[in-house]
Structure 1
Amino acid sequence: MPPVDPLFKDDDDGNTPLEAEEREQLIPSYITLRHELNEAEQINIGQGLEWAQRRKRDVLVQDFLNTLHKRMFGDVWAWAGTYRKTPRNIGVDAYRIPMEVKLAIDDARYWAEHETYLPDEIAIRFSHRIVAIHPYPNGNGRFSRMIGDLLAQQLGQSAFSWGQTSLVTAGETRTKYIETLKLADNHEIGPLLEFARS
Structure 2
Amino acid sequence: MSDPLFDDDDEANTPLTEEEREQLIPSYITLRSELNEAEQVNIGDALSWASARRRDVLDQNLLSELHRRMFGEVWRWAGQYRKSPRNIGIDAYLIPTEVRLAVDNARYWVENGTYPPDEIAVRFSHRIVAIHPFPNGNGRFSRLIADLLVEQLGRTAFTWGSASLVDAGATRAHYIEALRAADGHDFAALISFARS
With the length of structure 2 as denominator, give the TM-score of the two structures: 0.99
Are positions 1:7 and 2:9 aligned together? no
In structure 1, what is the equivalent of residue 154 of structure 2? 156
- In structure 1, the residue matched to 2:28 is 30
Residues 123, 182 of structure 1: alpha-carbon distance in 2 compared, 3 angstrom cutoff:
same
Distance 1:171 1:34 in 2: 16
Distance 2:78 2:13 in 1: 17
Residues 36-95 of structure 1: per-residue CA shift (max 9 Å, x gap): 000000000000000000113000000000000000000000000000000001100000
Corresponding residue number in structure 2 for 1:177? 175
Q: Tell me, what secondary structure is at the counterpart of 1:54?
A: helix
Q: How does 1:87-98 map to 2 (within 5 A)?
A: 87-98=85-96
Residue-by-residue CA offset, 1:136-172 (whole Å, 9 max, x unaligned): 0000000000000000000001000000000011510
1:64 to 62, 65, 78: 62
Q: Matches of 2:168 and 2:23 in 1, distance apart?
A: 25
Equivalent runs, 1:77-116 vs 2, <5 Å: 77-116=75-114
Distance 2:84 2:168 in 1: 25
Contact kept? 2:12, 2:166, Cα under 8 Å:
no
Paired letter, 1:37? L
Q: Which amino acid aligns with 2:107?
A: R
- 2:109–2:115: 8 Å Cα contact kept in structure 1? yes
Tell me whether 37-46 or 183-192 shows the greater mean CA deviation.
183-192
Gaps of 5+ in 1: none
What amino acid is the match of 2:176? I
The TM-score with structure 1 as length reference comes to 0.98
- Number of residue pairs the alignment of both structures matches: 196
Give yes or no for the alignment of 1:39 onto 2:37: yes
Equivalent residue letter for 2:28 = Y
Identity %: 69
After superposing the two structures, state which structure 1 stretch, 109-118 or 168-177, moved more.
168-177
Distance in 2 between the 1:15 and 1:38 partners?
A: 11
**Which amino acid is 1:75 matched to?**
E
Q: Distance in 2 between matches of 1:9 and 1:178?
A: 19
Which ranges in structure 2 are unaligned for 5 or more consecutive residues?
A: none
Moved over 2 A (4+): none
